[in-house]
């Protein structure tokens, strides 16, 4: 098969792809990047990822830079057992789980922006931080405790990463907590975590919302 390359930043959404590759057992080249140098703005990287982000992914002549698209591609081409095919039982739940991860991701992006990226406290909005934490907490109520489509799939890779990141900002309730525990118990998740690299984004275990 074609050589797979993954451009990766620790703790970012490229972890989804790293985890999926470990689930599949595929051979790949992991290219570590950093948010704190100019590598993601280099012309050669922008050719792979126009937004200057990760993941960036090559599978032979195929180049992708959206983690959800990469998960779908990998399942279609290399791991049909990690998807529910068109017309298959559980297909709606599979699609819902795969895309619901983006709902969680929107709240996570806002929280990460305010807690981590905006280093000057004067630039942060306590109202947004409290509101987004509550929205994230509410959205997590739809996750778990079982796999999104009955059996583990790439939808759970997408959702599992979101829940794993969400615990930095909210206390996980029963269903989401059990779901994350099941994700973390998977040997492929553990292998991916060992390869993730030193923390780049979340340097603290928990970022509580500001008090009113």
- Give the pLDDT of residue 79: 98
Please give the radius of gyration of the chain, using alpha carbons only, rounded to the nearest integer.
Answer: 17
Cβ proximity of 111 and 207 under 8 Å = yes
Ranges of residues in the chain with a pLDDT under 50 are none
Cβ proximity of 169 and 133 under 8 Å = yes
Interstrand relation of 4-8 and 56-59 (parallel, antiparallel or unpaired): antiparallel
- Give the pLDDT of residue 2: 79
Per-residue pLDDT reduced to its tens digit, 114-147: 999 998 989 999 999 999 999 999 999 999 999 9
Which whole-number Å values give the CA distances from 105 to 15, 22, 31, 100, 180, in the listed order? 13, 22, 23, 9, 16
Task: Compute the distance between CA of residue 57 and CA of residue 49 in angstroms, rounded to an integer.
Answer: 9
- Domains, in order of start, for the chain: 4-82 (3.40.30.10), 91-195 (1.20.1050.10)
- Give the pLDDT of residue 70: 98
Cβ proximity of 4 and 57 under 8 Å = yes
- Give the pLDDT of residue 212: 82
Task: Compute the distance between CA of residue 199 and CA of residue 212 in angstroms, rounded to an integer.
Answer: 30
59 φ/ψ angles, rounded to the nearest 5 degrees: -130, 85
């Amino acid at each position: 098969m074609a050589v797979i390359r993954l451009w990766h930043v620790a703790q970012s959404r490229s972890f989804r792809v790293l985890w999926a590759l470990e689930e599949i057992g595929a051979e790949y080249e992991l290219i570590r990047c950093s948010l704190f140098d100019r590598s993601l703005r280099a012309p050669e990287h922008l050719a792979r990822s126009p937004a200057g982000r990760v993941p960036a992914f090559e599978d032979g002549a195929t180049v992708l830079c959206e983690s959800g698209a990469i998960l779908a591609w990998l399942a279609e081409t290399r791991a049909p057992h990690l998807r529910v095919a068109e017309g298959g039982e559980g297909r709606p739940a599979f699609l819902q789980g795969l895309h619901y991860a983006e709902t969680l991701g929107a709240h996570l992006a806002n929280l990460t922006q305010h807690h981590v990226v905006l280093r000057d406290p004067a630039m942060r909005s306590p109202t947004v931080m409290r509101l987004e934490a509550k929205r994230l907490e509410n959205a997590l109520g739809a996750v778990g405790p079982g796999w999104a489509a009955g059996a583990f799939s790439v939808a759970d890779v997408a959702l599992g990463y979101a829940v794993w990141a969400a615990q930095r900002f909210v206390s996980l309730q029963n269903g989401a907590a059990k779901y994350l525990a099941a994700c973390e118990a998977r040997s492929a998740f553990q292998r991916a975590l060992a390869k993730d690299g030193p923390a780049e984004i979340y340097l603290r275990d928990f970022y509580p919302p500001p008090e009113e």
